[in-house]
Amino acid sequence: MPLSRRRFLSSAAAVTAGFAGLRSFASTAGPVASDSATASAGYGELLIDAEGLLDLPKGFAYRVFSRTGERMDDGLLVPGKHDGMAAFEGPDGLTLLVRNHEVEGPDRTLGAFGKQNELLVRLPREVIYDAGYGKTPMLGGTTTLVYDTNKQELVRQYLSLACTERNCAGGPTPWGSWITCEETVKRKDVEREIDHGYNFEVPATADMKLADPVPLKAMGRFNHEAVAIDPGTGIVYQTEDRHDGVLYRFVPTIPGKLHEGGRLQVLAIKDKQPADLRNWLAIPKELQTGGAHDVNFDTTLSAKRIAKPGESLGVEWVDIDNVEAPEDDLRYRAFKMGAARFARGEGMWYGNDAVYFACTTGGPAGKGQIWRYTPSQHEGTTAEAGAPGMLELFIEPNNATILQHADNICIGDNGHVVVCEDGGPVNHVLGVTPGGSVYKIARNRMNNSEFAGSCFSPDGSTLFVNIQNPGLTIAITGPWNG
């Protein structure tokens, strides 16, 4: 039986409190033309940063902390490639950040253990997921940061999950942990002594402790990107970062205990199976010229677009088996079962009683989409067939000046979406109003690296965000209340 919504929401306070900083957006937001990003919907024009790092609206300021290579409080080094992240309520009014590191393979220049992995001996073997036969440990994972928003300073930071690979995004749970996702399907080989492609659960705690590296295998082995959890049911939604990916739903046997197993399902559109929701009229040019994130994707296209912004589509969820997929064929088997196709599902977040997720290369121009899935009132039960969940194409601007390759997202209580761009050559943190108007919050002036990991502190005072390369975390403060 699903947990009651009351029970789950009461345990979710630490997560939902982090959305409070976005509540004020509604009072300043207004409709704008669909073909342009307008400052009037947000906080005004972005001002050029004299330090050459981050452009922000007037009245806002930033502080950089936790850079790649710095010594952490556990004696290890801050890993590189900062990515997905969430904020949780910590002790004594502190904020806990759990942050991913998208480090792939045994690249020691980006790991936590030094140039020769000499610091790896500090870790007990039981907390290491893949030691690489003692020679080539995988160097992805998560770090946890304890931050004081009153003093705007870092209190401490430490490694919290060791030796997984390419931890890209994930999502917070209502019970106070972070699900980190491996965006890889690499198997055991001469460097790896164990298969990869799984999710892992990391408790959000101020105590310096490494999480048990137990893969959540029932949630599927595929090119994971992000997850979002409905606090009323405990059902987990998952994106797949492929140009021909699908959307997954994990119905846990016991809500809140993901390690106890459950059913993995894929999304299909009622009466329109199979559905190609990439909305490509042709393969986007940048994917034809060697710029594809995954060059081995199915390029078969439907004859016409079937999804329009604002249109709601009834869905059904289909069980899929052999979820560890040693041949990395989950999506192909899903297509044969009628599953819908998406273009690089990336960031995902639960908010405003819905699940929002970004598709980085969706739309005719391949510039990105954001979708909204509203679960059925009978989600995860046999009764949902008569009252299905509804999928809506929230925005699809097809204009790089408005949105270019949406990646990580988070959601405010008022329904505003905060979007991290990964499109280059200039990337922004954007806001999107409930009506679909887009405005700019920040601009990366230092380089063309992507933004990642946007999330608000529980007290609403601080927006945290990462610049992936060279790897740094930023705290942004200002008049969020207008």
Identify which of 147, 34, 159 has the alpha carbon closest to the alpha carbon of residue 97: 147
Annotated domain spans of the chain: 5-293+301-477
Rounded distance between C-alpha atoms, residue 434 and residue 425, angstroms? 28
Extract the tokens encoding 256.
């809140």
- Its sign, for the CA torsion 223, 195, 212, 256, is positive
Rounded distance between C-alpha atoms, residue 423 and residue 291, angstroms? 11
Residue ranges in the chain modelled with pLDDT below 50 = 1-39
437 strand-pairing partners: none
Rounded distance between C-alpha atoms, residue 343 and residue 341, angstroms? 7
Gap between the terminal Cα atoms of the chain = 43
Was domain 5-293+301-477 assigned CATH 3.40.50.300?
no
Instruction: Give me the pLDDT at residue 282, please.
Output: 86
Count CA within 13 A, CB hemisphere, residue 61: 3
Instruction: Give me the pLDDT at residue 137, please.
Output: 97
Mean pLDDT estimate for the chain: 89
- Its sign, for the CA torsion 113, 117, 122, 126, is positive
Distances from the Cα of 436 to the Cα of 147, 309, 432, angstroms: 33, 10, 6
Cis peptide before 425 (omega within 30 of 0): yes
H/E segment holding residue 44 = none
Q: Give one word for 309, left, alpha or beta, with left for phi > 0 and alpha for psi -120 to 50.
A: beta
Rounded distance between C-alpha atoms, residue 445 and residue 206, angstroms? 33
Identify which of 228, 158, 280, 213 has the alpha carbon closest to the alpha carbon of residue 408: 228
Q: What would the DSSP string read from start to end of 62-100?
A: EEEEEETT-B-TTS-B--S-EEEEEEEE-GGG-EEEEEE
Extract the tokens encoding 410.
């988070």
Classify residue 400 as exposed, middle or buried by CB count within 10 Å of its CB (0-12, 13-18, 19+).
Answer: middle
Identify which of 222, 226, 229 has the alpha carbon closest to the alpha carbon of residue 176: 229
Distances from the Cα of 339 to the Cα of 247, 357, 401, angstroms: 8, 17, 32
Instruction: Give me the pLDDT at residue 283, please.
Output: 85
Rounded distance between C-alpha atoms, residue 112 and residue 70, angstroms? 9
Q: What would the DSSP string read from start to end of 381-421?
A: SGGGGTS--EEEEEE----TTT-S-EEEEEE-TTS-EEEEE
CB 462 within 8 Å of CB 454: no
Instruction: Give me the pLDDT at residue 49, please.
Output: 98
Q: How many helical (H) and strand (E) elements, i.e. helices and strands, does the chain have? A: 5, 26
CB 262 within 8 Å of CB 252: yes
CB 149 within 8 Å of CB 461: yes
